[in-house]
Amino acid sequence: MRLFRFSVFSALAFSLLIAPPGRAAPLAPHGRARIVVLMVWDGLRPDLVSERDTPNLAAFSREGVRFERHHSSYPTLTMVNAGVLATGITPSADGILGNAMYFAPFMRTGPDRPPPEVAVERPVSLENSKTLAALNARNGLDGRLIELNTVAQEIEREGGYVAIVGKKGPTFVFDDTVGAASGAARDGAPGHRLFASDDLAEPDSMTQEISRAIASLAGVVSPGRRDAYFARLVSEKALPEAKAAAQSGKPALVVFWQRNPDAVQHSAGLGTAAAFDALRECDANLRTIRAAIRELGIQNATDLIVVSDHGFATIRMTVKLSELLVGMGLKKSADSRDVVIARTGASDFIYLSPTEYASRAARRERLESIVKFAAAQQWCGPIFSREPS
């Protein structure tokens, strides 16, 4: 079963990618045994990088390569760009199209198939690792959440080392086989792996340790404390194991996805004192990781990349498109499934039911009516639609 969708966007975002120049002299006999460290500052705008607030990142950009024209994939949302970073392909190919998506029509049903462990009657927020694992279970999407192997899974298949650490949701996208409920299965034997997000951890030997640490931070207002814990985990656990893998001739990937500055910018606002404090905390984590790389003596075998998944803007007005469509007679009711709206940041994804609008002509008529209404409104930005394949 397939849904037909279009989306309304009104935000513009930017992204930053910085990498040091790579040098030869790997730890192992051949060049494949390199270590790649991907550090994500969630919601970082390029113009927030400064000597005052992010001195370590500013210095790093001078020492390495700064990609001035690098930008986020569109739509510029966390989960969308997590999919792109994890797979290297576009959202239309990896299957992650927003921070929230509507999955009900894609679930297989039948008397011998129990319903998925997560409610899918309405759009589901994807920024939760346990929710993603439940969606991907055998009674859900059955391993089809991500449409292909990720870079991390390819490294695992080669017998390399992978550590994915940090914010729940985007971390799971790098390896959707994590979690006992997952139905995902990949070819080849998995290599060594560490997965540690806010709500999910592997292997079992690390689960209790990470769970205790996360529980101790559960009441902490500042997400920076949690990011600092994960930075220490990267420095004290992941990087030494990555070094051991490289010494044995195997590749290694370490992904560290910070919650900040995004989390604090959402709660306190862009440009506030709290937001600048969050930038400094992120910068301190970069200092911690770079110090660990130096202490382990793996500078010449390591490519360190700092990237942002999206930029940030202040939204001064929101509209409830669902209610507006009901008022215009373009949707039956707020909870009806003829037209389903997934709200995600400054955009709305609009799904048309393939049963309610069974013919191409019916879908076109309803889409045209919705587009004409939305385009006439002051709050509406660009509108995109896709014809059924």
* 117-144: average pLDDT: 89
CA–CA dist 184, 148 (Å, integer) = 10
Is there a contact between 249 and 26 (Cβ–Cβ < 8 Å)?
no
Q: Looking at residue 188, what is its pLDDT?
A: 43
Instruction: Pick the closest to residue 385 from 359, 362, 364, 355 (CA basis).
Output: 364
Q: Looking at residue 256, what is its pLDDT?
A: 98
| pLDDT mean across residues, the chain | 85
According to the per-residue pLDDT averaged within each range, which of 21-25, 68-72, 322-326 is highest? 322-326
Q: Is the pTM of the predicted complex or chain greater than 0.85?
A: yes
Q: Looking at residue 286, what is its pLDDT?
A: 98
Alpha helices of 50-167 — where are they, by DSSP H? 55-63, 78-87, 91-94, 129-135, 151-157
* pLDDT digits 0-9 by tens, 335-355: 999 999 998 877 899 999 988
**Residue 329 in this model has a pLDDT that exceeds 60:** yes
Q: Looking at residue 7, what is its pLDDT?
A: 42
Other C-beta atoms lying within 10 Å of the C-beta of residue 86: 27
Q: Which pairing describes strands 302-307 and 339-344: parallel, antiparallel, or unpaired?
A: unpaired
**Residue 2 in this model has a pLDDT that exceeds 50:** no
Q: Which pairing describes strands 65-66 and 17-19: parallel, antiparallel, or unpaired?
A: antiparallel
Q: Looking at residue 387, what is its pLDDT?
A: 67
Other C-beta atoms lying within 10 Å of the C-beta of residue 208: 10
Domains and CATH numbers, the chain: 14-307 (3.40.720.10), 320-385 (no CATH)
Helix (H) or strand (E) holding 350: strand 347-352
- Which amino acid type is present at position 82? A
Q: Which two tokens stand for residue 288?
A: 């911690």
Q: DSSP string covering 186-218, please?
A: -SS----EEEEESS-EESHHHHHHHHHHHHHTT
Q: Which two tokens stand for residue 351?
A: 């799904």
Other C-beta atoms lying within 10 Å of the C-beta of residue 114: 12
Instruction: Pick the closest to residue 184 from 154, 149, 156, 158 (CA basis).
Output: 149
**Residue 10 in this model has a pLDDT that exceeds 50:** no
* pLDDT digits 0-9 by tens, 226-253: 999 999 999 999 999 999 999 999 999 9
* 94-115: average pLDDT: 81
**Residue 122 in this model has a pLDDT that exceeds 70:** yes
* 3 state SS of 180: coil
* pLDDT digits 0-9 by tens, 187-230: 444 457 899 998 888 887 777 777 777 777 665 556 898 999 99
Is there a contact between 258 and 197 (Cβ–Cβ < 8 Å)?
no
pLDDT band at 110 (very low <50, low <70, confident <90, very high): low
